[in-house]
Structure 1
Amino acid sequence: MIRAVIDTNIIISGLFWRGLPKQVFEAVIEGRFVALTSQALLDELYDALNQNKFAANFAAIEMTADRFMNRYGTIVEQVESSEVPFDVIRDPKDRAVLGCAIGGNADCIVSGDKDLLVLKSYEGIPILTAAQFLQRLEET
């Protein structure tokens, strides 16, 4: 089974909107692959979801950030992150994604973040768009 780190931007887009990120998010829920996370990524997701700009989105799906995080924590595998050098990527926050992928022995990373996508891979782990990942998932 594929082991993949799903970046926060894909999770949030998949939770609140339609499109390819939603299909990735639904595949997480359906257990079609092992979704990996780390404490740093969980913290980033929690902080992002608690922004006021998502209050109406949560109301529309009759959910709260806390309830979502509790449920999300039961369907992902939390791993210990590996250290990633500071000079690998422009945005230091993206180091958490790379560290989770290394620490979790991921097969790929799924992101919509251009800073990550431009790398194409890190330590042999491909960095894929939602479309690329869904195609790979269908092929397995």
Structure 2
Amino acid sequence: MKVLFDTNLWISFMIGKRLASLADVLCRNDVQVYMSELLLDEIQTVIARPKFNVIISQESRQAFVDMVDNVCHWTPITIQAESPIRDIKDLFILSMAESVPVDFIISGDKDLTELESHAGIPILSYSEFLNKLGL
């Protein structure tokens, strides 16, 4: 199963929310998590904000990048998605999902989850995804 986590979920994982369940997901042989340079850049830009300095240490940030490099499947974004999404900054997530293509987009972003699907790809909350996996 090919999946894509959005920026909000990666940030949640980094600040300790649902970290144990992420480990369960990443250790599964039947789940492939995809990452792109653009998504990683956005994550790093967000966690560089001053408000995260007291929450996420530099060591944790580097450990995150190392983990992503080791466990995620890297993909270029080769398709420019079209969508009526409210926040145009989220369009690259849809483009990335189409480029792979993934089986599911997993999101904590209401603008994405309200779409319910994009190009036939279901958009699930993290809880819905865990239920689908039986976790």
Between the aligned partners of 2:126 and 2:101, the Cα distance in structure 1 is: 20
Displacement of 1:26: 1.9
Between the aligned partners of 1:42 and 1:18, the Cα distance in structure 2 is: 19
Between the aligned partners of 1:28 and 1:38, the Cα distance in structure 2 is: 19
Displacement of 1:88: 2.6
C-alpha contact 2:26 2:33 (8 A) present in aligned 1:
no
The amino acid across from 1:18 in the alignment is K
Count of aligned pairs:
133
| TM-score between both structures, scaled by the size of structure 2 | 0.87
C-alpha contact 1:116 1:127 (8 A) present in aligned 2:
yes
3-state SS, counterpart of residue 134 of structure 2: helix
What corresponds to 1:34 in structure 2? 32
5+ long unaligned stretches in structure 1: none
Between the aligned partners of 1:15 and 1:70, the Cα distance in structure 2 is: 13
C-alpha contact 2:14 2:64 (8 A) present in aligned 1:
no
| TM-score between both structures, scaled by the size of structure 1 | 0.84
Between the aligned partners of 2:48 and 2:21, the Cα distance in structure 1 is: 22
Query: Which is richer in helix?
Result: 1
3-state SS, counterpart of residue 119 of structure 1: coil
Displacement of 1:24: 4.8
Displacement of 1:28: 4.5
RMSD (Å), alpha carbons: 2.0
Between the aligned partners of 2:20 and 2:63, the Cα distance in structure 1 is: 21
Relative distance call for 1:3 and 1:95 in structure 2 (3 A) is same
Displacement of 1:31: 4.1
C-alpha contact 1:28 1:34 (8 A) present in aligned 2:
no
Displacement of 1:64: 4.0
What corresponds to 1:11 in structure 2? 10
